[in-house]
Chains A and B, each alone.
Chain A
Amino acid sequence: MCLSIPARIESIEGNMAVVSAGGALFNAGLHMIEDPAVGDYILLHAGFAIQKISEEEALETLSIIREIDEAAGKW
């Protein structure tokens, strides 16, 4: 139950959104998210969007991982 999954906002109506994850659709309360927009990725937890996922930071983390990896190759 403590699972949170990344999901994409597909539509918004008032405080509620329909979000998609892995081809399935879920309802998500947007009460805790600032400026939600269709296309945003959020973490879905127990029926609520608990945080937006930052694309920028996600790419940054991946590039750090790849750099570590390249450094490893040179060892």
Chain B
Amino acid sequence: MDQQISWVSVGSVEDIPRQGSRVVRTPAGEIALFRTLKDEVFALEDRCPHSGGPLSQGIVHGARVTCPLHNWVIDLASGEAVGPDEGCAGHCPVRVVNGVVQLGLAGFRSGGCAHE
């Protein structure tokens, strides 16, 4: 499966603030890249499953982000809302190679979920 993904470099990890996020624009929609306190990098569709809020603008804590519009909490790894809320933000394959963030855009579908 790994060979089928073609990876696109979008910038360096350092360009994303710790506990923060940057957006990558793609034809399939905006993707929010998150960098946690521990320097993990995650990529989700920049749309909250609740009502479309820009997740990239939320507060990042642990491996989660709190949506800026109505405080849903989204798990960064899976894109899923943390209970009791239900919903899932589209998820995009991401990896870091020598400090460079790469997205597997072919694996990204707007509205798609990590586990589908």
A and B associate: no
